Structure formats: C-alpha cells, structure tokens
C-alpha cells in the first residue's frame, strides 16, 4: 500500500539575481506503508525542500504530493495543511521547546486533539518509557544532553502514533557514539511500531544502515533508487559509486567480449569481468569505467587464485582498528585496499594483488 506518492514534484525558487532555479526538479517516488525511504545527497541537492513539500510546509511549483489517496499539495495550492496530514516530523531545526518540560513537549501534539487528560498522561508516559527517558519527564531540555533532547523529539514525534514520519537529518547535531545509539533506537521503533516515511541525510553510512530504500539525489533529481545493497553493489553511475562508499576507478577499453564475460584493457593490465549485467551489452572497442571497491581487493596468497592478479607494492598502511586501509602500487596505478585490521603489511613489500572477476563493476561514461 502506497502511503505517500510524489508525482513529478518540482519546486523552483527565485534567486536574488531574479533568476528561477529548481531546488526540486521532477521527483517521482512512492513510499509504501512501513517503508523508510532515505533521501541521500550532498548539501543543497534539494532534500529538505522535497521533505517540506511532503510535509505541506512548502507549496510545489509543479507536480503533486498524494497522501491517503488524494492530492494534498500541487501547484494549485496546499489542499491539506501540515497539521492535518498526521505526519510525524523530526527535523534538525524542529528542536524541543526549552520552556516546556519533557512531559509538556511530548504531550503537546496531543493537546490539540480531543483526548482526556488521563489518556494524555498514560500515552505520554508510555512513549517516554518506550524511548528510554521515562525518568526525565519533569526535566527541562536545557538540563539534557543533545542525545536526550533528540529522544524527546523522537517521543514527541511518535506520541500521536503517525504512520508516516518525516526526518530531516535528525542526528546531525549529536556526536558519533550517540548518533549510533539513536539510529539503532529509530530502527527498533520502526520495527516495533511499524511506521514508515522519509529520512533525509547527507551521511551515506547512516543511509545504508537505516533505509529500506535509498534515493540518491543530485541537483534536485533522483539519480538512482534501490535497496542499500543495490545502491552499494550496483551503482548505476560513477556519481553514485563515488558518493556511497569508496571506489578505485580506472579508464578501460573493452577488448574481448564473450557470453557473460568481457576483458577490459586498463593501465593495470587486462581485467576480466563477469556477473555484471552490463557485460552482455558491451562491444569491443567501447570505453568503460572499471570500478573496484577497496574491500574486493585481496592481497598476498589469497590473491593468486583469482581471475585478476597483478604484482604490487605496499605504499602506505593506515590502521584504523577493526579494519586497515592500504595503498598498493601496481605499475604506476595506486589502489586503495581495505584489509582485515588484524593483518599487518610492510610498506615497500612486494606481493600479489587480486580481484575476482565478479567483484568488478563496469560503468558507461556519459
């Protein structure tokens, strides 16, 4: 069941220069019940504007927003105002109110409804317990840590039991450790309560961790949409491959095409590629980008059994705990390799470098 649908959504703003520019430029997207879609993209690509259009805080200049089976916004107007949409909202700028206790903050969305005081007490108490801040109900936000304040915001957002929640970088103002806890908390709530919605972030790791589907945005458009595994494993462009995770990329020219297998000539030497749908569509002589994730590369004896093996030299090793990052020179190419942190490599050491044919991606230049 589709709960929110964007159809060719567009939002143009007038610049100080008098020119009009599209912050959102034809976004179409269906959000299903219980599904969390992450809008991922760099700053200024139109994520917040898209979310504000969904919320009813911004009127689109083209296209429409459909919710509950009817058009709620279009260029003709905001048909259903934000407060009537029953969407939960957890925005970065939508902070908790400092002059109200935790209880007051969380009870606020219920006050506008015709609910008895006893019911409000009971409902707020339950939600505060749910997000683990029952003991803070009489505190004021200024006495709380950033992470606790965001728990208050989460409780306030959940209290009216919305089916759809709109999140705009809700974790960007808390430090790394708390961010991970809160992310896990949001996921746990999602499973428990069953809400879905749209989650905006510029943080690719957060997107991969929290999304059912990720929509990658660039300059007001969605350039790819898919599950986190699809986006990471099968990026449809160099832009997406580069934006989500790290890559090694090489220019190549297809030299041999066979069923399900191609050979690409690169500065590393020949690279054999299989298992990528694109190989069936390539012809000899065609230019392609060869994309290899750092964790797909093997070093030492493990590399010898793979279809693609070269000799390389360790240029640099960076130990980061659970994993290591190594720079390996193959000829005059430098490759990034992600290794198991337990293994140590000596700089200057000579060794085999390999990648399996089905771990290489090919992308077409445009």
6 contributes a contact to ligand ADP by CB under 6 A: no
Q: How far is the CB of 78 from ligand ADP (least distance, A)?
A: 15
50 contributes a contact to Mg ion by CB under 5 A: no
Q: Which of residues 19-78 bind ligand ADP (CB under 6 A)?
A: 23, 41, 43-49
87: CB partners within 8 A, 6+ apart:
54, 55, 162, 164, 165, 166, 197
Q: How far is the CB of 167 from ligand ADP (least distance, A)?
A: 12
Main-chain dihedrals φ then ψ at residue 297, nearest 5 degrees: -90, 135
Cβ proximity to ligand ADP: between 44 and 341 the closer is: 44
Q: How far is the CB of 14 from ligand ADP (least distance, A)?
A: 7
Buried b (16+ CB within 10 A) or exposed e, 11-43: bbeeeeeeeeebbbbebebbbeebbbbbbbbee
Cβ proximity to ligand ADP: between 33 and 172 the closer is: 172
Q: Total residues at the site for ligand ADP (CB under 6 A)?
A: 10
Cβ proximity to ligand ADP: between 61 and 227 the closer is: 61
48 contributes a contact to Mg ion by CB under 5 A: yes
Q: How far is the CB of 223 from ligand ADP (least distance, A)?
A: 13
Minimal CB distance to Mg ion: which residue? 48
Interface residues with Mg ion (CB under 5 A) are: 48
Interface residues with ligand ADP (CB under 6 A) are: 13, 23, 41, 43-49
């Amino acid at each position: 069941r589709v709960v929110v649908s964007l159809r060719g959504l567009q939002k143009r703003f007038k610049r100080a220069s008098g020119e009009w520019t599209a912050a959102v430029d034809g976004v179409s997207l269906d959000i299903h019940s219980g599904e969390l879609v992450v809008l991922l993209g760099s700053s200024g690509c139109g994520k917040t504007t898209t979310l504000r259009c969904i919320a009813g805080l911004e009127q689109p200049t083209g296209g429409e927003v459909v919710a509950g089976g009817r058009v709620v916004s279009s260029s003709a107007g905001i048909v259903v105002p934000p407060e009537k949409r029953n969407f939960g909202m957890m925005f970065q700028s939508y902070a908790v109110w400092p002059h109200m206790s935790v209880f007051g903050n969380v009870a606020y969305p219920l006050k506008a409804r015709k609910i008895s005081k006893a019911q409000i007490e009971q409902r707020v108490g339950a939600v505060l317990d749910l997000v683990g801040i029952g003991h803070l109900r009489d505190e004021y936000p200024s006495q709380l840590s950033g992470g606790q304040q965001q728990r208050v915001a989460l409780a306030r957002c959940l209290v009216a039991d919305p089916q759809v929640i709109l999140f705009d970088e809700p974790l960007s103002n808390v430090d790394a450790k708390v961010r991970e806890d809160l992310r896990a908390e949001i996921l746990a709530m999602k499973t428990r309560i069953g809400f879905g919605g749209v989650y905006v972030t510029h943080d690719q790791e957060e997107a991969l961790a929290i999304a059912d589907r990720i929509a990658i945005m660039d300059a007001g458009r969605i350039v790819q949409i898919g599950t986190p595994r699809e986006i990471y494993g099968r990026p449809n462009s160099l832009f997406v491959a580069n934006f989500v995770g790290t890559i090694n990329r090489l220019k190549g020219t297809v030299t041999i095409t066979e069923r399900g297998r191609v050979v690409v000539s690169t500065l590393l030497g020949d690279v054999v590629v299989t298992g990528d749908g694109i190989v069936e569509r390539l012809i000899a002589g065609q230019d392609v980008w060869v994309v290899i994730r750092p964790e797909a590369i093997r070093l030492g004896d493990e590399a010898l059994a793979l279809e693609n093996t070269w000799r390389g030299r360790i240029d640099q090793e960076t130990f980061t705990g659970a994993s290591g990052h190594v720079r390996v020179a193959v000829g005059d190419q430098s490759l990034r390799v992600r290794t198991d942190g337990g293994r140590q490599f000596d700089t200057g050491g000579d060794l085999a470098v390999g990648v399996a044919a089905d771990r290489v991606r090919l992308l077409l230049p445009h």
